[in-house]
Amino acid sequence: MKLMKTLGLGLLAALFAGQAIAQNYKAEYKISTVVGAPFPWGLSAERWAQLVKERTNGRINMKVYPGAQLVGGDQTKEFTAMRQGVIDMAVGSTINWSPQVAELNLFSLPFLMPDHKAIDAITGSEVGKKLFEIIASKDVVPLAWGENGFRELSNSKRDVRTPADLKGLKIRVVGSPLFNETFTALGANPTQMSWADAQPALSTGAVDGQENPLSIFTVAKLHTVGQKHVVLWGYVADPLIFSVNKQVWSTFSPEDQKIVQQAAIEAGQYGKEVARKGITKDDPSTLKEIEALGVTITRLSDAELKAFREATRPVYDKWKTRIGAELVNGAEKAVAESRS
């Protein structure tokens, strides 16, 4: 009898525990992204959801909402929406969050990062940690880095080899005023708009050009909206950040928190691999594909690159102070060390 009673109580306790989980966890967690699969960005967000589902036996069910649809397409409002809990999770670009997290402008400093090693050096350094601390102080839990990629410039008018070639070109940009200042310094005519608005603007010729990673160029088929001239200048790159609203995070059991974070790290790693495919010296397959579409790809010599760097230097210096000289010094040091 006593045994029965104990068993009965144990069963009750187990039932309550099960119920507690069912009550706390939502039926679905919404992940915001700007682009979905098959863009590397969307693929990495899907991978995150898939790994979490498998490893929690379906306890945590995450779904990707691309097109920044959870914020009506206004991608620069994503961070605020996540902070407020309107969005549970996001795989977001540092550019889109920089209006709210000014320090993330660091990655948009022109010509700070010469190559993929330099990006990894910054995100993997104390600077990367500090940036995560800053995000964590704003009710968002950052879990892992991913990648959108080096942003190459395209336009419908002409090959660009010198800053003078940019003169008067109408270029769509996104994010913070830093982008307006960079393109203004180069003599271009920048206009800020969302990705959703950019594609029709390119197609009607309201703008002449844009800057985005080549994975975005190919998947979005930008050659079909007149973008026939690409210059490989790698002036900035935007990492992605896998993150969860703080309140949502606090409802997850410690075991589930570990699973969600580990899955984000693996999905981020996978996303970096896909984003970097086909655009390196060892594997230029994507570049070849783009050229085969009738697009000219301009490769710059060191001396040509230097002219762009020098033209944008005053913008770099001004924003270095705004972002925080200490943080930017740390990033510069990480980059320098990655070169040696």
Evaluate whether 235 touches 107 at the Cβ level (below 8 Å): no
43 vs 51 by CB, closer to ligand X2X: 43
Altogether, the residues listed in the chain come to a count of 340
Give the residue at shortest CB distance from ligand X2X. Answer: 195
Q: Which is nearer to ligand X2X, 96 or 105 (CB)?
A: 96
Output the smallest distance, CB 139 to ligand X2X, in A. Answer: 22
- Asked if 150 and 238 touch (Cβ cutoff 8 Å), the reply is no
Does 93 help bind ligand X2X (rule: CB under 6 A)? yes
With beta carbons less than 8 A apart as the criterion, state whether 211 and 152 touch: yes
Per-residue b/e over 48-61, b at no fewer than 16 CB within 10 Å?
bbebbbebbeebbe
Asked whether position 34 contacts ligand X2X by CB under 6 A, the answer is yes
Q: Of 210 and 245, which has the nearer Cβ to ligand X2X?
A: 210
Out of 195, 233, 235, 316, which residue is the one contacting ligand X2X (CB under 6 A)? 195
Q: How far is CA 205 from CA 151, 170, 201, 322, in A?
A: 21, 9, 6, 34
Binders of ligand X2X in range 210-269 (CB under 6 A): 212, 216, 238
Number of residues that bind ligand X2X (CB under 6 A): 12
- Piece in contact with ligand X2X (CB under 6 A), picked from 81-89, 91-99, 183-191, 268-276: 91-99
245 closest CA partner among 96, 145, 139, 93: 139
Q: Which one of residues 95, 166, 231, 236 is an interface residue with ligand X2X (CB under 6 A)?
A: 95
**Least distance between ligand X2X and beta carbon 250 (Å):** 28
Contacts with ligand X2X, 146-165, as mask; x by CB under 6 A: --x-----------------
Q: How far is the CB of 75 from ligand X2X (least distance, A)?
A: 5
What DSSP string runs through 37-59? TTSHHHHHHHHHHHHHHHHTTTS
From the list 174, 236, 311, 323, which residue makes contact with ligand X2X (rule: CB under 6 A)? 174
Pick from 116, 64, 68: nearest CA to 96:
68
Question: How far apart are CB 187 and ligand X2X at their closest, in Å?
Answer: 21
Query: Which among 228, 250, 109 is positioned nearest to 160, based on CA atoms?
Result: 228
When the beta carbons of 160 and 202 are compared against ligand X2X, the nearer one is: 202
Q: Is 49 in the site for ligand X2X (CB under 6 A)?
A: no
96 binds ligand X2X (CB under 6 A): yes
Which CB, 118 or 222, lies closer to ligand X2X?
Answer: 222
Is residue 335 involved in binding ligand X2X (CB under 6 A)? no
97: left (phi over 0), alpha (psi -120 to 50) or beta: alpha
Closer residue to ligand X2X (CB): 34 or 248: 34
**CA distances for 168 relative to 9, 33, 164, angstroms:** 77, 32, 9
CB of residue 28 to ligand X2X, shortest distance in Å? 23
User: Which secondary structure element, helix H or strand E, spans residue 237, and what is its range?
Assistant: strand 237-245
Closest by Cα among 243, 273, 220 to 48: 243
| Residues in touch with ligand X2X (CB under 6 A) | 34-35, 75, 93, 95-96, 148, 174, 195, 212, 216, 238
